[in-house]
Structure 1
Amino acid sequence: MTTTAHPATTSCTALAGIGPLFPVVFCGYLALGLPLPALALQVHDRLGFSAVAVGWVVGIQSLATVLTRGFAGRLTDTRGPKLGALLGLPLAAVAGLLYLASEAVAGRPGLSLALLLAGRLALGPAESLFLTGTMAWGIARLGPARTGRVMAWQGIGIFGALAVGAPLGLAVMERYGFAAVAAAAALVPFLGLLVALAIAPEAGIPGQRLPFRRVIALIWRQGVGLGLAGVPFAALAAFVSLDYAAHGWTGAGLALSGFGAGYIAMRVFFAHWPDRFGGARVAAASLAVEAIGQAVLWAAPNAGVALVGASLTGIGFSLVFPALGVEATRRVPPQSRGLAVGGFVAFLDLAIGLTGPLAGFLAAGFGFPSVFLAGGAACLLAILTLVGQGGAGRQG
């Protein structure tokens, strides 16, 4: 990243500065969102594995991501953020190719599952690189004073892609099969790569950098709050399609779209709230709404009510990331901002990675709705975590 603000910071709006990066983020996460609900159906219905296996296939990607956040952050801080995007997007395409290979050997379920897991493992560092890269790239273009805006608009790209990708992936699978979903997941990242290549790079910031463990020590409270807030999203992504199928409902893709729509609406209209009311306060209120959404999903008697619960979950989760993210990045020097972004998001990766298999055990023992009850409990625990953050909100 540069040592001074990008010219766009003083002459253009925040949207103009973030705009060129938006399709990069969108395409990267579309490669994640397209196969997400299709993977659950492929593993459970086509290959015949249990809900626990579904949880591992979905969750192992985040466990792989968390192990590479430190590397991605150091690369971003030293070599500039553009390189992260240029390395991560092609690696995301490799994941799609492994999905495609898995479908080719679907008659051998064990091998097919192994290839799906390999694809998810490849997607872990891919996401780590292009998310950390684009996030730090946006901060470099707009300046650190607009970190919250950067995180808010990057989040619109992320969950907009997930909201579009989920129903699109299910529709493609129903019409053309899992192979078509895998092929699309392999092609989409190259569209983002073409855009990234055309955007001017930002250099790394010179100076002494903190060790990754020191960065984590400075931001762990914010990270834990984010991680617990991410549990409902992980539960929703992994099991909502199976929950709908178990109830005999249609429109599982709409539930993820409802989550994304609620998430995006909050980012568009209320992204300034963390700066105005304080990060911890906004995060706590958001977590309460998220917990209510999970409770509605758990008790939903029909698909319409479930859609309301999913939408409330998205509304609640939306502002947790920028509210706590601003506080996390302010706790480190500029030379370690990429590491802070990577470390902060690593808590979310870890939570999502653990939620998949643990929720799978819950679903196997108590039914699919139980994973949403657990998601609501995680939100309440996150609120308790924020109580101990003292002046975090006042700094935001």
Structure 2
Amino acid sequence: MTARANVLVTLAPKMAVVFVGFLIAGMGITVLPIHVSSDLGFGTFVIGLITGSQFCASLMTRLWAGDFADRKGPKKAVILGLSLAAAAGALYLASLITISQPVLSAAILVAGRGVLGAGESLIITGSVAWGLATVGSQHSGKVIAWIGTAMFGALAAGAPIGSALFAVQGFAAIAAATILLPLLMAAMVAPLESVSGRSSPSASRLSVIRAVWLPGLGSAFASLGYGSILAFSSLLFVDRQWADGWLAVTSFATALVASRILLGHLPDRLGGPFTALVFAIVEAIGLVTMGLASQPIVALAGAALVGFGYSLVFPGFGIAVVRAAPSQSRGMAMGLYSACLDVALAFSGPALGLVGDVAGLPTIFVTTGGLVSLSTFVALFIIRRGQACN
């Protein structure tokens, strides 16, 4: 068996955990804006607020989740994360009970999305730390890319599944699946071998922040495209009176998964910052294409370009983090790195929602394309700094 196949086999259980954790996100993300708009009667600002609450909660818990994985072991972090995801499903059900009071129902949805954000923070951070501990930092690009592949594969699969469930039983079906699937996955993870927590003292948080902040800034700019696709692509299709808006998320995620399967080795081979530079340009082009599209097929092609571009930006900048962070605090470093994504998504949801309310939904994607392009300057700075150090 080749070294690449060995790495894939070792990572498979961690990828399965992430797949289930984000399948429930994929099932809900395309129908939640429609539920909030049609059933509760709110506009894009409230939709962005509810969507952003998940990322805000992730932001507040990422550093703790990474430290928890370092101290207690990544398996415990994963199981706790799955348990919180199930609790989010229970809050979804509670929001339906109060649907006759839209403000209260929306507030409960905010809480549910927040709990889900905390759970996903533990799931993704614990799984990446678990993967790095079992295959080694020399494969850090593959760990980040392939575990991310499971995440976006789940989003791709979740979009049509969620739309089908929503069509049959409404948001209640999404809530039930959000409860059951994480609990089943937690039962399957329980027998797996654990990785012990750290035995040496943790590095100072300041040293971790120094390793993370610049690559994290680049990742934050690039992640705005991901956030726009999740929060507003289905509404763009509704606004243009195009059918099957869930296809935009599926096109994005399918292109991302295909790119990571075929090209996931590039950040380890070519260097993370250079890979991030090239693929961020592609992502920005895809976003502008979506904003200017006059036909659904063009918008779907734009969404696929966004997914293809974003596919290797996050692992590209992530390699710079892994190589600069203290080895005993890689979980914390990856948690903080992921928190940069959460900062972008938490605040961009409401902000871009306001842009949509004022200037129209297509403007959201053109604006985001310009913001994503800023990550190329960050990549260039990291490349030049590395050349100066050599």
Q: TM-score, normalised by structure 2?
A: 0.96
- Alpha-carbon contact 2:26-2:156 (below 8 Å) kept: yes
Amino acid at match of 2:317: L
Unaligned runs of 5+ in 2: none
> In structure 2, do the counterparts of structure 1 residues 392 and 41 end up closer, same or farther at CA, with 3 Å as the change threshold?
farther
- Alpha-carbon contact 1:69-1:342 (below 8 Å) kept: yes
Residue of structure 2 in register with 1:16 after alignment: 9
- 3-state SS of paired residue (1:35): helix
Residue of structure 2 in register with 1:211 after alignment: 204
Distance 2:386 2:100 in 1: 54
- Measure how far apart 1:154 and its partner are: 0.2
> In structure 2, do the counterparts of structure 1 residues 271 and 350 end up closer, same or farther at CA, with 3 Å as the change threshold?
same
Residue of structure 2 in register with 1:292 after alignment: 285
| Structure 2 residue 315 is matched with structure 1 residue 322 | yes
- 3-state SS of paired residue (1:390): helix
Amino acid at match of 2:338: V
Aligned partner (choices 368, 379, 388) of residue 375 of structure 1: 368
- Alpha-carbon contact 1:251-1:303 (below 8 Å) kept: no
Distance 2:130 2:99 in 1: 40
- 3-state SS of paired residue (1:138): helix
Distance 1:253 1:144 in 2: 36
Q: Deviations over 1:190-222 (max 9, x none)?
A: 222122212100012322212334311222110
Distance 1:124 1:313 in 2: 23
Q: Equivalences for 1:1-396 in 2 at 5 Å?
A: 13-391=6-384
Q: Deviations over 1:152-205 (max 9, x none)?
A: 110111000011112211221122111111111121112221222121000123
Q: Deviations over 1:220-256 (max 9, x none)?
A: 1100111111101101110111111111101111111
State percent identity of aligned pairs.
38
Distance 1:64 1:325 in 2: 21
- Alpha-carbon contact 1:79-1:204 (below 8 Å) kept: yes
Amino acid at match of 2:126: G
Distance 2:324 2:45 in 1: 38
Larger CA deviation: 213-222 vs 139-148: 213-222
- Alpha-carbon contact 2:221-2:375 (below 8 Å) kept: yes
Amino acid at match of 1:100: L
- Alpha-carbon contact 2:139-2:268 (below 8 Å) kept: no
Amino acid at match of 1:101: A
RMSD over aligned CA atoms reads 1.7
Q: Deviations over 1:131-158 (max 9, x none)?
A: 1111100111111211111111101110
Distance 1:105 1:163 in 2: 30
- Alpha-carbon contact 1:299-1:369 (below 8 Å) kept: yes
Amino acid at match of 1:219: V
Distance 2:272 2:319 in 1: 8
Amino acid at match of 2:32: L
> In structure 2, do the counterparts of structure 1 residues 9 and 210 end up closer, same or farther at CA, with 3 Å as the change threshold?
farther
Distance 1:277 1:263 in 2: 19
Amino acid at match of 1:306: A
Q: Deviations over 1:63-121 (max 9, x none)?
A: 11111111111111111111100101010011111111111221111111111011011
- Alpha-carbon contact 2:222-2:373 (below 8 Å) kept: no
Amino acid at match of 2:316: A
- 3-state SS of paired residue (2:190): helix
- Measure how far apart 1:12 and its partner are: 6.4
- Measure how far apart 1:10 and its partner are: 7.5
- Alpha-carbon contact 1:89-1:193 (below 8 Å) kept: yes
Distance 2:178 2:160 in 1: 14
Unaligned runs of 5+ in 1: 1-7
Distance 2:202 2:87 in 1: 32
Q: Deviations over 1:348-392 (max 9, x none)?
A: 011011111011100100111111112101121111222221357
Give the paired residue count: 388
Residue of structure 2 in register with 1:5 after alignment: none
> In structure 2, do the counterparts of structure 1 residues 201 and 302 end up closer, same or farther at CA, with 3 Å as the change threshold?
same
Q: Deviations over 1:10-35 (max 9, x none)?
A: 89611110112221110011121111
- Alpha-carbon contact 1:278-1:393 (below 8 Å) kept: no
Distance 1:376 1:81 in 2: 35
Distance 2:336 2:204 in 1: 11
Q: TM-score, normalised by structure 1?
A: 0.95
Distance 2:385 2:185 in 1: 35
- Alpha-carbon contact 1:81-1:136 (below 8 Å) kept: yes
- Alpha-carbon contact 1:298-1:369 (below 8 Å) kept: yes
Residue of structure 2 in register with 1:4 after alignment: none
Distance 1:81 1:181 in 2: 28
